[in-house]
Structure 1
């Protein structure tokens, strides 16, 4: 009996040692993710710590973190089993930033200058409520059922949808929110932010201030094979640069988001392992590199901060949106834009109308075609900072559909052939949520 107890104890400590060996390096990522998410959700959307821990941070190992909010200094801290404390601070105008011990919280900083003037027009072009509109070609019972099916029934917690918005011919035809969320709730788009970043290059190209087909303006690449990489290659995610986009382990992506001070340089420093335009590889580092390229197009940091809002975000009335910055002051163009569901839909509407916003051409109509044309070697699933359905990933949705996609199933679908924009925000992605069913349910509600 005593011998068996010793064997069990030995195996327990062996397992414990293995567990610590495997898990300990991840603790800083866990506490970093948790602190950043708590600070953002609380100070941007005013969510309680209880709600954040029950919903936003309740998955996988993130739930191991212990979190605290400091209201007076507008910060959040997190630890795991009392270890690896990480801190995120909130700054008005810049959102929450995960910081390290070297970050000087007393250093003055610039914030974007916003134009929040609002048109007295109905949604989507102004702040007034949309006019009630009924279309004879829509079966509203079918439509409402399709939207309702996207949400969990009482007692369930599988679909985890927070909002669904359906817009047809610029009119809201369906809108539903999870209890506790509403049209004013500001929700993180995660990688939908990439589509914001890419759009800014379309705007610069229309202004004849940037040529995406020239080699990327990166001095560090000019004396090696990377000098052949164009901004067009970067926009299409086929630069050939080394990158690992994994989130359940220490990878290039997690290292960048939860450790690096200057996220615009993480991809820049990677070697080329393929020729440009021969190998598609999804990379958040590439989009943050694009944010760094954007920054260098302006004489001052203030101009860079302002451009994102003056040229696009506030221009189309996405006044709830905030794009967060890293420690070096770069917008985290890969991942950190927050906005209401209605404001996220405006990006989709801008593309549905090929860059025209209530009579003003924000980018050339050809840019919408550019971003929705399949990237070489992506098998029809990716364009230029947008995801595509050209390869039929959603078999019951139109092939001309393209979308902004984000972690945990944030979606803005653009359906040009049906004059539709569909937004879904939530906490489950394609592996757990039936997006094809949602899309087909909505499109089938239109009478033939």
Structure 2
């Protein structure tokens, strides 16, 4: 057997360990492998390309633990890692796919240390198709707010009126001036959430109900106005600022598009996964600082107030003592998603758009699609059912 054929064979076997071999070729390879092992024991032997510089054969080399960052200039290139290599239970994957397909899923991805372990598309949906993030896109706005503060365009303790102008609401000026950017980030503006349309940003929809910071309610209109705060403070188009500061530096694609009163982000599932990697690396992309303010990042991904400990700066947080949900004033005891890791934080959007990030496991999980059951804002029963199935694979 010539050298080229031997090398090709070695590579093939290592990459495809389950490949069936002819008896004659298999016996030949065992002899060849034995000779390589014996040669490697010699004190003057050089490591081959198959063993690497450490001299350790690939099959016993340690799992990669450093974060992988998919290249920016080559969007379709992305390193993968097998469930077998990770020691995950591949037998349970069919149950996961059945659940996803029967709950209107279009795209699903799991990353481990940045590498793709599972990537599955359903129906006619393709990897380069764009999908609405819905309120999972609030995470993007939260990080962009931190970047704008870091660049000294504003401080989140500033009054919202400083950047929207006085009279952006129907409240008396004294009440309006009490609302800050931080109140917009934490859903504590005190604006009346009993209006007919909580998405409405018209003056007549923005009225007083509670003093700021005294009540938590998932009110979308104050969040949407954050986009105007950022655009006015930076004196630039919101999409342009986002593209310059987050999208382009990490190789995302996508766009915020006005849908009714809402500003909805659309992108591919892989772009959402890229943003997940950025989060797990606390605002750093392969050595490039996207958000350097550690204090802001920690505040963003931890309890931002004591009214709803399961909410940060537009991020949902797991593992807290209690939580509140959209469309209700009721407080619930326990963790937001009991089956999910306690340190998980997430972007959760209407109709079960999901971006889960788990620092302790270095996992990013993406789900895009239609509503699994009811059309709910943010968290739903789907979260806990999905994580129950994920656990059967990764544990």
TM, length-normalised to structure 2:
0.69
Paired position in structure 1 for 2:103:
159
1:182 aligns to 2:126 (yes or no): yes
Contact 2:198–2:220 (8 Å) recurs in 1: no
Matches within 5 A, 1:12-27: none
Q: 1:146 to 1:365 in 2, by over 3 A?
A: farther
1:196 aligns to 2:145 (yes or no): no
Equivalent residue in structure 2 for 1:215, among 159, 168, 182:
159
1:169 aligns to 2:113 (yes or no): yes
Paired position in structure 2 for 1:144:
93
1:379 aligns to 2:308 (yes or no): yes
* Deviation at residue 388 of structure 1 after TM alignment: 1.5
* Deviation at residue 132 of structure 1 after TM alignment: 3.6
* Deviation at residue 244 of structure 1 after TM alignment: 4.1
- Aligned partners of 2:69 and 2:305: how far apart in 1? 41
CA deviations over 1:236-282 (Å, ceiling 9, x no partner):
0101111248xxxx5242xx3xxxxxx4x558x62222121110111
SS of the residue aligned with 1:318? coil
Equivalent residue in structure 1 for 2:248, among 314, 321, 328:
314
- Aligned partners of 1:122 and 1:420: how far apart in 2? 13
Q: 1:430 to 1:415 in 2, by over 3 A?
A: farther
Paired position in structure 2 for 1:242:
192
Q: 1:366 to 1:150 in 2, by over 3 A?
A: farther
Contact 2:319–2:338 (8 Å) recurs in 1: no
SS of the residue aligned with 2:216? coil
CA deviations over 1:46-65 (Å, ceiling 9, x no partner):
xxxxxxxxxxxxxxxxxxxx
- Aligned partners of 1:308 and 1:137: how far apart in 2? 35
Q: Give the gaps of 5 or more residues in structure 1.
A: 1-120, 153-157, 257-262
SS of the residue aligned with 2:394? coil
Paired position in structure 2 for 1:338:
266
* Deviation at residue 348 of structure 1 after TM alignment: 1.5
SS of the residue aligned with 2:184? helix
Contact 1:238–1:278 (8 Å) recurs in 2: yes
- Aligned partners of 2:95 and 2:148: how far apart in 1? 39
Contact 1:278–1:376 (8 Å) recurs in 2: no
SS of the residue aligned with 1:239? coil
Contact 1:415–1:421 (8 Å) recurs in 2: yes
* Deviation at residue 421 of structure 1 after TM alignment: 0.5
Equivalent residue in structure 2 for 1:286, among 219, 222, 228:
222
Paired position in structure 2 for 1:419:
362
- Aligned partners of 1:146 and 1:356: how far apart in 2? 35
SS of the residue aligned with 1:445? helix
Paired position in structure 1 for 2:384:
436
- Count, aligned residues: 300
CA deviations over 1:18-37 (Å, ceiling 9, x no partner):
xxxxxxxxxxxxxxxxxxxx
Contact 2:187–2:217 (8 Å) recurs in 1: yes
Contact 1:215–1:230 (8 Å) recurs in 2: yes
- Aligned partners of 1:124 and 1:440: how far apart in 2? 32
Equivalent residue in structure 1 for 2:206, among 270, 275, 291:
270
Q: Which moved more, 1:134-143 or 1:405-414?
A: 134-143
Equivalent residue in structure 2 for 1:129, among 52, 71, 77:
77
Paired position in structure 2 for 1:405:
348
- Aligned partners of 1:417 and 1:266: how far apart in 2? 44
Paired position in structure 2 for 1:389:
318
Contact 1:146–1:438 (8 Å) recurs in 2: no
- Aligned partners of 2:69 and 2:338: how far apart in 1? 35
* Deviation at residue 427 of structure 1 after TM alignment: 1.1
- Aligned partners of 2:302 and 2:315: how far apart in 1? 9
Bigger-Rg structure (1/2): 2
Q: 1:349 to 1:143 in 2, by over 3 A?
A: farther
* Deviation at residue 347 of structure 1 after TM alignment: 1.6
1:352 aligns to 2:276 (yes or no): no
* Deviation at residue 201 of structure 1 after TM alignment: 0.7
* Deviation at residue 372 of structure 1 after TM alignment: 1.7
TM, length-normalised to structure 1:
0.61
- Aligned partners of 1:166 and 1:274: how far apart in 2? 41
Q: Give the gaps of 5 or more residues in structure 2.
A: 1-67, 321-334, 375-379
Contact 1:279–1:377 (8 Å) recurs in 2: no
Contact 1:404–1:411 (8 Å) recurs in 2: yes
